[in-house]
């Protein structure tokens, strides 16, 4: 099972790197940015198999910040951050111009909220837990640029769960370059265990966007 996963990831990585290489050589051709879809799903709707989250509909300011953060190595460098380490080299090859092109291109993708996959969570308890999140992410988890907090509603639930676990464990948000992640990291102290994480994400799943 583990071998199969590793092989699949390797195949994707080689494919993605090859596509990225030819794209980096040519630049500017939006069609060559398509290597993002290898891991983020058709039209950026997310890919659970590769654990690449939905990008379509993501706020442009947040998308930009994460690409720059991955590129600088402030995210996706912790050896236990398996998924982040897949993304980091993808961002490392991007120039400022590439990022500007991607933002323009991503703005044209149709936003389709992710389909909930989580089961067994207690959304009622999650609603209580979410009270501590609303001041930054908004009552409907719609996000707030003023608070630097992205929308959570409509994002893939498996991705939200992984991020909360990663923040809590310090796989994300512990790097000195990641000031916003550090802010978020302190917030996970209110989520006592994995059950609380599943509960709060189950509540977020009830919020449409």
Residue ranges in contact with ligand HEC by CB under 6 A: 12-13, 16, 33, 35-36, 38-40, 50-53, 55, 63, 65-67, 83-84, 86-87, 90, 102, 132-133, 135-137, 147-150, 152, 155, 160, 162-164, 180-181, 183-184, 187, 190-191, 200
Dist. CA 181–CA 191, nearest whole Å: 16
- Would you say 51 or 202 has its CB closer to ligand HEC? 51
- Would you say 95 or 135 has its CB closer to ligand HEC? 135
Is residue 182 within 8 Å of 168, Cβ to Cβ? Answer: no
Is residue 181 within 8 Å of 167, Cβ to Cβ? Answer: yes
Is residue 78 within 8 Å of 170, Cβ to Cβ? Answer: yes
- Would you say 123 or 164 has its CB closer to ligand HEC? 164
Dist. CA 26–CA 159, nearest whole Å: 32
Q: Cβ of residue 125: shortest distance to ligand HEC, in angstroms?
A: 12
- Would you say 114 or 164 has its CB closer to ligand HEC? 164
- Would you say 16 or 208 has its CB closer to ligand HEC? 16
Q: Cβ of residue 59: shortest distance to ligand HEC, in angstroms?
A: 10
Residues in the chain: 209
Residue found by looking up tokens 């994480």 in the block: 197
Q: Cβ of residue 148: shortest distance to ligand HEC, in angstroms?
A: 4
Dist. CA 122–CA 107, nearest whole Å: 34
Q: How far is CA 41 from the centre of its chain?
A: 13
Is residue 84 within 8 Å of 153, Cβ to Cβ? Answer: no
CA-CA-CA-CA dihedral for 168, 63, 134, 136, to nearest 10: 90
Q: Cβ of residue 119: shortest distance to ligand HEC, in angstroms?
A: 18
């Amino acid at each position: 099972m583990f071998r199969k996963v590793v092989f699949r990831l390797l195949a994707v990585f080689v494919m993605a790197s090859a596509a990225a290489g030819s794209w980096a050589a040519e630049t500017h051709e939006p069609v060559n940015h398509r290597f993002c879809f290898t891991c983020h799903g058709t039209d950026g709707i997310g890919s659970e198999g590769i654990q690449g989250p939905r990008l379509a509909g993501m706020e442009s300011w947040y998308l930009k910040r994460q690409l720059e953060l991955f590129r600088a190595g402030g995210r996706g460098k912790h050896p236990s951050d398996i998924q982040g380490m897949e993304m980091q080299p993808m961002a490392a090859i991007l120039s400022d111009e590439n990022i500007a092109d991607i933002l323009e291109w991503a703005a044209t993708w149709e936003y389709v909220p992710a389909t909930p996959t989580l089961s067994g969570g207690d959304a009622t308890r999650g609603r209580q837990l979410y009270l501590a999140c609303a001041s930054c992410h908004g009552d409907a988890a719609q996000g707030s640029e003023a608070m630097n907090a992205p929308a959570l509603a409509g994002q893939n639930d498996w991705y939200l769960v992984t991020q909360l676990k990663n923040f809590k464990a310090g796989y994300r948000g512990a790097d000195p370059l990641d000031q916003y992640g550090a802010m978020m990291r302190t917030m996970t102290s209110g989520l006592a265990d994995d059950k609380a994480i599943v509960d709060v994400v189950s509540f977020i799943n009830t919020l449409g966007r």
